[in-house]
A and B are shown apart, each in its own frame.
Chain A
Amino acid sequence: MKSERGPSRRDVLCASAAGVALAAAPTAAHATRERPRRWGMVIDLDRCTACGACQIACREENNIAPTGPDAAHAGRQIEWMSIRWQEPEQPGGQPTAMPFPCQHCAEAPCVKACPVGATYKSPNGITMQIWERCIGCRYCMVACPYGRRSFNWDEPHWDGTLVQLLNPDVATRPKGVVEKCTFCHHRIRRAEEEASIAGRAVTDQDVRRLPACAAACPASAITFGDLDDPDSEVSELSRSPRAFRLLEHLGTDPSVVYLKRDRRS
């Protein structure tokens, strides 16, 4: 059922914003002044059941171009988030399923490798990619120790009516550029805008399930938040004795923290 045209939520929010700005501009400006954040993610491997909902939610939200079996078998699948099966540490042990997004390293090797500044660190800790600046050299893919970047080998294409499911908030990427997880930065920006309109700062509650993968997870295994805020849920979780980060010895300082699987014997 198509909705009737009329004032949308966006309209109402914008109108409210104007009102707020006029009525209490100094207060609002003060309340919404964002301190620097470091967005990060905590993934509890004990909760994760490997269902893959995070992966499909990411595809849906971020307009990830479909690739068929031929591209997949050639290793040309485009994936921002996927389940990775980690071999057991001990012989005879069980493998571990890990939801595996970009690690958004504070010392990101990909950023250092990019010759044209297409990939950069945003002030809030997200490793961003400017699609139209990317020249497709793939140095970043070589530099990334996690292999979490994908190259568009082909022009993306959505058959027939499939085009209608594209999310209007996210630009599609053309052939010849590298793409990657953005921590759903468009959703973060939106949350920031909405908080700003309401005259407050973004709270932990606003963002804890904000990225599409975290929102979908039926096991509540993925938590998002500000790692620089000592009171945030992600900070608290990342202080767990089960917490670890991938390839930390490389000095990449990732913003994705895993909580180790803790099977009962």
Chain B
Amino acid sequence: MTDDRNAFSRRHVLGILGAGAAVAGCRRGWTPPASDPTGRALAKPDVPGAELYSTGEERWFVSSCGQCPAACGIRVRVVEGRAVRIEGQPDNPLNRGGIGPRGLAALQGLYDPDRITGPLARRGGVLVPIGWDEALAELAAALATLRARGEPERLLVWCGQERGVARDLLLRLARAYGTPNFIDGRAGRSGVLAGAMALTAGVAEVPVYRWEQAGAVLSLEAGLVEDSCQSVYFTRMAAHRKRDRGARLIHLGPMLDLCAYNADEWIRVHPGTSGAVALGIARLLLDAGSLPADRVDGAGPFRDFVAGFTPERVAAASGVSPRALERLATALWDERPAFAVVDERSVACSNGLDTALAAMALNAVFGAFWVEGGGVTAAPAVPLRDWPEIDLDELARAGLARPRLDGAERFPGSGSVHEALPDAILAHPPAIALLHHANPLFARQQPSRWRRAFRAIPQVVSFSPYRDETVDEVADLVLPDHTFLERWEIAVPAPALDRAILGVRVPVVAPVHDTRATGDVVLDLAARLGGAVADALPWRSFRAASEERVEVTTDLYRDGFWSPGAPPAAPPLRVALHARYAEPTWYGDPAAYPLRLIAYRPLGYAEGSGGNLPWLRTLRPRPGAHPWMFAARVHPSSAPGHSDGELVVIESEWGRIRAPLQLDESIDPGCIAVPMGAGHTAFGRFAKGFGANVLELVRPGPAPDTGADLLCATRVRIAKGRAS
């Protein structure tokens, strides 16, 4: 299109109209101009900055999604400097062109009207804007003072991510500074899965599954397509499995969720008892055959142990009838290659590790480990080179030798124990806390407990781009990060495939606000601190630090991902079976609190970090759901005297919330299912005040054996009336 043609284009005229609208006072949002009742129907948005463009310039950027740990490949359409569309990247082996609802809604996160627009500092109890230089100088001075006092361990660094270069950079900062108190996202239940793999196969990585050639898959209460870290990949697998006659999926679970809906057969079980079903199946199969002794350790004790899992015992524990159990065992054996799948939802009860170990034991019975067609393997190592070893100074060595606040040493493999922190913080408050991708005042059990704990920390620093509960209530300094559409980053996807994959994120638009990538901020802080800390983080930018760890190729930028072609060679392997299983524990007096609480991450929302994306509130992930719905689901027989839609109080020994009731015959009687992600008291206009936070009900404290969170271990009751 030539400039002459542009001079009188429709776009140009509309731009002028738009400018008029801006003058008329539309800066606080936009409504189509009302002055022209006919023309307004065709009005295009008044976009700040659009006057810089005269060609309707359009570009597509290849990048990786950052809305959840899956890191799907995406293409972003940018018109006149604005990101207006996200689509899946067809070549990416994770998502093959598809994309989930949460990834699509990333634009609402980018352009969230309540984003933090620049650094903030709390002055007189109120957060006020300050400049970047002042903010960084203030924090660097505080960090330098703390270190000079010889108390580097009183720095708490919390990164909500489990993996990725930003997480590694924060860990490096913590080590070079000299604090052992680095908390990461592994305390979530994926640590339990990795623990089960370590005990069974000797590889401390989460299991990944080869779906394509499997004949049958048994899901032990897994979330898969609804709330797993790789829901888009599993959605693709589910479609392939169903239509292309891939593996037959049998799902054990307490309620109709998207995994149950997409299974070929859904068998309702009591929550936390699918491990008993797996052991019952293992018993039946072992009765008919034997384990390959050359590859399995502990076969004898395991066989003796599962002999106790008779169909009658399994039926009493789980609700699965002996006949159904036998049919299940036969079907799975006949349709081999078969395997049992567990994910984070599977291990939400107190016996999470036992459930994961039962799945792995059943996989050993199936001979599914490291089998090419349809088996289980460990997530491959991330193909990132290590940075040079840190040259620790005396202060850092002394600090790192001190015990961790969360006592993670007691739980090998857990990495961090979130639930031990509030009490530990109150007992020995850190002087400074850095929070990246963490909003403990909302997303952890008993938020009031976390509020008390963080108020005891003199300087809380958040890198959140959004004004979440932690920022709003306790942050003393806010150094807002870019969103993933504004920053450069190497993405390390949550494991799904049996081959390693890396993604790249590129800035597709100029930063909407005065924000900075946290990686760059960390490097800036290190430089200001000087000495050994600066030496450990010498890079001029986060991008330079990241590029030192990868083979930078044109492919990486052209395709947005990089993956070695062939799967890694199978390691020489013996698997160890563990003779252990415990029934799930439900805390609370069963007489006073008769219902078992299932707190679950609903489609698209995770633990609440999607609350500012109103598009997601329009999803209907189950029958009876409608837009902007928040409800507690309970079987009618478990709520006598209550009616559908009634507003009730749900109480546990630890808290109470108010929620509408949805009577649902699909849910296991004796249970009540409440979605997470609602009940924000901050986090912007779309999140605040909608629904209630189920975590108010959940018993605090870590799982006694693994240190993981216990989302499903609390007894509750429902009552009419309003919460006081």
Contact = CB atoms under 8 A, between A and B. Distances in A.
Interface of A: 1-3, 5, 8-11, 14, 44, 46-53, 55-57, 59-61, 66-69, 72-73, 77, 79, 82-85, 87, 94-95, 97, 131-132, 155-168, 171-174, 177, 209, 212, 215-221, 263-264
B620 A52 contact: yes
A2 B486 CA distance: 10
A216 B87 contact: yes
Interface string B102-130: 00110110111111000000000000000
Interface stretch (B143-151, B196-204, B257-265, B336-344): B257-265
A10 B627 contact: no
Given A53-B99, A73-B628, A82-B618, A165 B83 contact: yes
12 contacts: A1-B509, A3-B57, A49-B239, A51-B225, A52-B604, A132-B42, A161-B512, A168-B11, A177-B41, A218-B100, A219-B236, A220-B236
Contacts of A85: 620, 622-625
B376 interface: no
Contacts of B11: 168
B113 A161 contact: yes
Contacts of A57: 99, 104
A158 B626 CA distance: 22
Interface string B584-627: 00000000000000000001100000000011111111111111
B81 A166 contact: no
Contacts of B48: 164
Interface stretch (B26-34, B182-190, B424-432, B708-716): B26-34
A156 B32 contact: yes
Main secondary structure of the interface of A (DSSP, over half): loop
Given A2-B509, A158-B45, A51 B100 contact: yes
Nearest to A7: B55
Contacts of A165: 82-84, 107-108, 110-111
Contacts of B80: 168
A55 B100 contact: no
Contact of A52 (B96, B512, B603): B603
Contacts of B262: 49-50
B723 to A, nearest CB: 19
Nearest to A57: B104
A47 B239 contact: yes
Given A49-B261, A51-B603, A53-B98, 19 more contacts: A1-B508, A3-B78, A8-B55, A9-B58, A10-B58, A56-B619, A72-B618, A94-B256, A156-B31, A159-B28, A168-B45, A168-B47, A172-B32, A172-B43, A215-B87, A216-B104, A219-B235, A221-B239, A263-B264
B418 interface: no
Nearest to A97: B261
Interface string B64-97: 0000000000000011111111111000000111
Contacts of A97: 261
Contacts of B617: 69, 72
A46 B105 CA distance: 25
Contacts of B622: 85
B13 interface: no
A8 B57 contact: yes
A53 B32 CA distance: 27
Please give me the 5 A-B residue pairs with the lowest Cβ-Cβ distance, nearest first. Answer: A218-B98, A160-B113, A219-B239, A132-B41, A69-B628
Interface in B10-66: 11, 28-32, 34, 38-48, 52-53, 55-59
Nearest to B5: A14
Nearest to B233: A218
Nearest to B95: A218
Contacts of A83: 619-620
A56 B605 CA distance: 14
Contacts of A8: 55-59
A1 B41 contact: no
B621 A216 contact: no
Which size bracket describes the interface of B in this complex?
35 or more
Contacts of A160: 28-29, 111, 113-114
A82 B98 CA distance: 17
A3 B59 contact: yes
Contacts of B59: 3, 8-9
A159 B1 contact: no
A158 B627 contact: no
Contacts of A73: 628
Contacts of A215: 87-88, 97
Contacts of B30: 157-158, 163
Given A8-B58, A49-B225, A163 B47 contact: yes
A224 B621 CA distance: 24
A229 to B, nearest CB: 23
A114 to B, nearest CB: 16
Contacts of B107: 60, 165
A42 B621 CA distance: 21
A166 B45 contact: yes
B510 interface: yes
B267 interface: no
B618 A77 contact: yes
B704 interface: no
A11 B53 CA distance: 13
B103 to A, nearest CB: 8
A215 B87 CA distance: 7
Contacts of B384: none
A5 B84 contact: no
Nearest to B6: A11
Contacts of B101: 51-53, 55-56
Contacts of A166: 44-45, 47, 84
A8 B32 CA distance: 28
B581 to A, nearest CB: 31
B693 interface: no
Contacts of B579: none
A121 to B, nearest CB: 20
B615 A218 contact: no
A8 B512 CA distance: 23
B127 to A, nearest CB: 18
B248 interface: yes
B507 interface: yes
A67 B232 CA distance: 27
A50 B258 contact: yes
A221 B617 CA distance: 22
A161 B225 contact: no
